[in-house]
Chain A
Amino acid sequence: MKVLFRNIGMTFGNVRVLDDINLSVSEGEFVCLLGPSGCGKSTLLNIVGGFLQQTEGEVTIDGEHVTEPDPRRIFVFQERGVFPWLTVEENIGFGLFRMAESEKRARIAHYVQMVGLRGFEQSYPRELSGGMKQRLEVARALAVDPDVLYLDEPFGALDSITRLQMRRELLRIWQAEKKTILFVTHDIEESVQLADRVVVLSARPGKVRRIVDIDIPHPRDLSDPRYIALRDEIFGEIGLAHQI
């Protein structure tokens, strides 16, 4: 097991946010944490990222306890996480400060290419669209070659067309780079399109209601009956009928 959550509980003051979370994620797996706003899914991601200390239980990665952030596991925020005072190249190279200059150059060029930002190397984030900024942040994370990526509603601020493109991009990168991915979202469709497994959390305090295996190979056909069945199953689990 790559990542192991054991009996994680979290209380802020007298607010119970997470309750008895147990979950194991294997190497190279793509897991979505799905739940309504305020269910503690971001809190859970911040705990495994080392930014918050849980009040109960333990998280281990490769058997080691998580106590602080670590460059082997990079957190990707919504596109607001890129540094506006650095160019595209400088952002991607941000975490490569221990690397020899020539190797760093090559690494930056490789990820500029991978996320489709060729020609924008010298641009500043303010000159990029929301989707490009998001790809830039993913490239900055990948450049340090982490084994786990944490994504906290990364596409939440993008328009729906860009969001679909970004999901396809992310799947392509995940398949090429073989990273373990923990992806937080409140979007049911998004989770079924992306994940190997969807962890459905309840409203506060967040508990694991169910873990749904998405046994559809990529690329996924969004009109496939199996896709629709799984999606509706999760809609039902959350207590929503899939109609307006």
Chain B
Amino acid sequence: MKRVLPPLFVAAIALGLWHAAVVLTGTKIFPSPLAVAKGLRQLPHLASYIGDSLFRVGAGYLAAVILGVPIGLALGWWAPLARAANPLIQMLRPISPLAWMPLAVIWFGVSNLAPIFLIFLASFFPVVVATMNGVRNVPPVYIQAGRNFGLSTPALMTRVIVPAVLPRILVGLRISFGVAWLVLVAAEMIAVDSGLGYLIIDARNAGKRYDLVVGGMLLIGMIGLLLDTLIRLTERLQFVRWAFND
């Protein structure tokens, strides 16, 4: 209770200030919290929009994890490979996924694949880099001990390296999920006609429904918070708990 009440209190104050500001300024454009809630309630396909967004982020992110973790492990383990590949990774990494939008449309056309591709790009590099740095920072005594007990390289990977980097990978996965969710709006600006990102663009274009714009923003924020909390729960799992101070 003590951990839930203060944040709720702050949120309530923010809502109150927002409402007061709208009333006091008499704005016709910016909606009050009540108007946002009303607008969202009247929206017919809100649930399917949320579902579509979750599907796209989930698919793009999952692909990034499935490809990124093994690549990160390999780059972290074989220093020559990392030296060869790192400049390319560091060059591609700062390019905003938004810059890929025109190419995504050409390659994937009008389909779910275009936004999934953008979300994949956004989360792939953080996953690779976090995993790679994790492997590099495995304390040498663990590797030495593993070798001393006669482990082959594959066994050393599965019995020492992976368990030792798992906590860092989990932190990296959480951060990259944040990035994936962040680019959702941009990713759904193209090629699709559903989802929370689309809701925001469409509400503005079709009739300047700012109540829905703000509603979409708040939904993205709240679902993001919920998912982050869920991912954080994995830090309590027995096989990684050693690395996190309770």
Chain A residues with CB under 8 Å of chain B are: 49, 51, 68-71, 73-75, 77, 80-81, 83-86, 94-95, 97, 124-126, 144
Closest to A85 in B: B163
A64 to chain B, nearest CB (A): 16
Known: A69-B144, A77-B145, A95-B149; 7 extra A-B contacts, CB below 8 A, are A51-B144, A70-B148, A77-B141, A80-B139, A83-B163, A94-B149, A94-B159
**When each residue 109-135 of chain B gets 1 if its CB lies under 8 Å from chain A and 0 otherwise, what string results?**
000000000000000000000000000
Give chain A residues whose Cβ lies under 8 Å from the Cβ of B148: 49, 69-71, 73-75
17 chain-A/chain-B pairs, Cβ below 8 angstroms:
A51-B147, A71-B148, A73-B148, A74-B148, A77-B141, A77-B145, A81-B145, A83-B142, A83-B145, A83-B163, A84-B243, A85-B166, A85-B242, A94-B149, A94-B159, A125-B242, A126-B242
Within 8 Å of chain A (Cβ to Cβ): is B160?
yes
Residues of B174-203 at the interface with A, using a CB-CB cut-off of 8 Å, are: none
B157 to chain A, nearest CB (A): 14
A135 to chain B, nearest CB (A): 16
User: Beyond A80-B139, A80-B141, is A85–B149 a contact (Cβ under 8 Å)?
Assistant: no
Give chain B residues whose Cβ lies under 8 Å from the Cβ of A126: 242
CA distance in complex: A202, B13 (Å)? 71
B236 to chain A, nearest CB (A): 13
A193 to chain B, nearest CB (A): 26
Give chain B's interface secondary structure class. helix
Give chain B residues whose Cβ lies under 8 Å from the Cβ of A70: 148, 150
Contact, CB under 8 Å: A84 / B242: yes
Chain B residues with CB under 8 Å of chain A are: 139, 141-142, 144-145, 147-150, 155, 159-160, 163-164, 166, 239-243
B78 to chain A, nearest CB (A): 19
Looking at B147, B149, B163, the one whose CB has the most chain A CB atoms below 10 A away is: B149
A74 to chain B, nearest CB (A): 6
Give chain A residues whose Cβ lies under 8 Å from the Cβ of B163: 83, 85-86
CA distance in complex: A83, B159 (Å)? 10
A142 to chain B, nearest CB (A): 12
Contact, CB under 8 Å: A85 / B150: no
A2 to chain B, nearest CB (A): 18
Looking at A70, A80, A85, A97, the one whose CB has the most chain B CB atoms below 10 A away is: A85
Give chain B residues whose Cβ lies under 8 Å from the Cβ of A95: 149-150
B234 to chain A, nearest CB (A): 14
CA distance in complex: A81, B141 (Å)? 6
B165 to chain A, nearest CB (A): 10
B235 to chain A, nearest CB (A): 13
A129 to chain B, nearest CB (A): 16
CA distance in complex: A124, B243 (Å)? 12
Looking at B144, B145, B163, the one whose CB has the most chain A CB atoms below 10 A away is: B145
